[in-house]
Amino acid sequence: MTLRDACDILQADILTGEEHLDREVKIVGASDLMSDVLAFGQPGLLLLTGLANVQAVRTADIIEAGGVIFVRGKRPDQDSVDLARRNGLPLMATSLMMFPACGRLYEKGLHGVTKTVSSARTSSVSEELLTRTFEIAGGDFSKAGHVSMEIKDILQELGISSDLIRRTAIAAYEAEMNIVMYAARGTLRLDLSPQALVIEVADEGPGIPDIDKAMTEGFSTATPEMREMGFGAGMGLPNIKRNSDDFSIRSTVGRGTDLRLSFRLNKGTAEE
């Protein structure tokens, strides 16, 4: 099915990306929780969501979605449309509710996500070590996701495999959102060598009193504001660990939390 077909089926308006409407999509996912989209989304996914803000666009870009259809008559603001246009992400909008929209697409042969898939492709980079450090301000939701998208752009320019870029960007995005949501400030450091890509995150936040509980899917201390942004489903730290080859966490109550994420560049196995 093409995006044009999906628009016709859902009687959707095209907001941006008219030149990409012949793009093929094979799976559809529906959610207003962006952590769930990061956890279970796949490249080429047609995302249906009622979350009409910039975080939905950034999340769709991170997972390399084929397009986004906003349901329930929701429409993103101009900044979100401009971001999608710059990144070649088609945006559409339908007045249909989420359930009937999914049902119509399913009837026409478009199926949903059943499992996550990891590619077996390998990556190669030059012998030169790349190091970048990013400052992240707590509480600034307007800029949340900028660092992760910049990291994605850097890795694309270096020719890193798309699977590794996607896993790295998802983990970085979740880590960045944790700083924005819970800490006063933090730093994210990217180190790239021919053998591995390492991300180290340090924040000045409240710390985590029970790391085991925090690593449990579904556990969340998110505020209503955070949930309005599509986060707070209790998938952040589990998503980071799932997408990393090696993961470690240290936290001191009252001082902050440190993460170390490692991604092997010569990983040769895949989940089937």
SS3 labels along 80-140: HHHHHHHCCCCEEECCCCHHHHHHHHHHCCCEECCCCCCCCCCCCCCCCCEEEEEEEECCC
- Does some domain include residue 76? yes
- Does some domain include residue 122? no
Instruction: Band the pLDDT of 69: cuts 50, 70, 90.
Output: very high
C-alpha span between 238 and 234 (Å, rounded): 8
- Tokens linked to 232: 């707070």
For residue 194, the model assigns a pLDDT of 82
| 271 or 238, higher pLDDT | 238
Q: Does one domain contain both 134 and 243?
A: yes
Q: Does one domain contain both 77 and 108?
A: yes
Write down which residue in 112, 142, 161 finishes a domain: 112
Q: Does one domain contain both 94 and 146?
A: no
Q: Percentage of the chain surpassing pLDDT 70?
A: 91
CATH number for the domain that contains residue 63: 3.40.1390.20
Q: Does one domain contain both 232 and 165?
A: yes
SS3 state of residue 152:
helix
Q: Does one domain contain both 162 and 74?
A: no
CATH number for the domain that contains residue 235: 3.30.565.10
- Does some domain include residue 271? no
SS3 state of residue 200:
strand
For residue 158, the model assigns a pLDDT of 83
How does pLDDT run across 216-232, given as a tens digit for each residue? 988 887 787 777 777 76
Expressed as residue numbers, the domain containing 220 is 130-264
Q: Mean pLDDT over residues 102-122, rounded?
A: 70
Q: Please, what's the largest Cα pairwise distance for the chain? A: 53
Mean pLDDT over the full length of the chain: 87
Q: Does one domain contain both 41 and 154?
A: no
| 56 or 159, higher pLDDT | 56
- Does some domain include residue 156? yes
Q: Does one domain contain both 95 and 172?
A: no
Q: Percentage of the chain surpassing pLDDT 90?
A: 65
- Does some domain include residue 181? yes
Q: Does one domain contain both 84 and 174?
A: no
Q: Mean pLDDT over residues 161-175, rounded?
A: 93
Q: Does one domain contain both 193 and 139?
A: yes
Write down which residue in 112, 146, 165 finishes a domain: 112
Write down which residue in 112, 146, 181 finishes a domain: 112
Give 90's contacts (C-beta < 8 A, 6+ positions apart).
3, 14, 16, 17, 18, 20, 21, 23, 66, 67, 68, 84
- Does some domain include residue 38? yes
Structural domains counted in the chain? 2
C-alpha span between 206 and 63 (Å, rounded): 30
Q: Does one domain contain both 149 and 251?
A: yes
- Does some domain include residue 58? yes
Q: Does one domain contain both 55 and 169?
A: no
Side-chain-facing half-sphere of 136: CA atoms under 13 Å = 33
Do the beta carbons of residue 203 and residue 183 sit within 8 Å?
Answer: yes
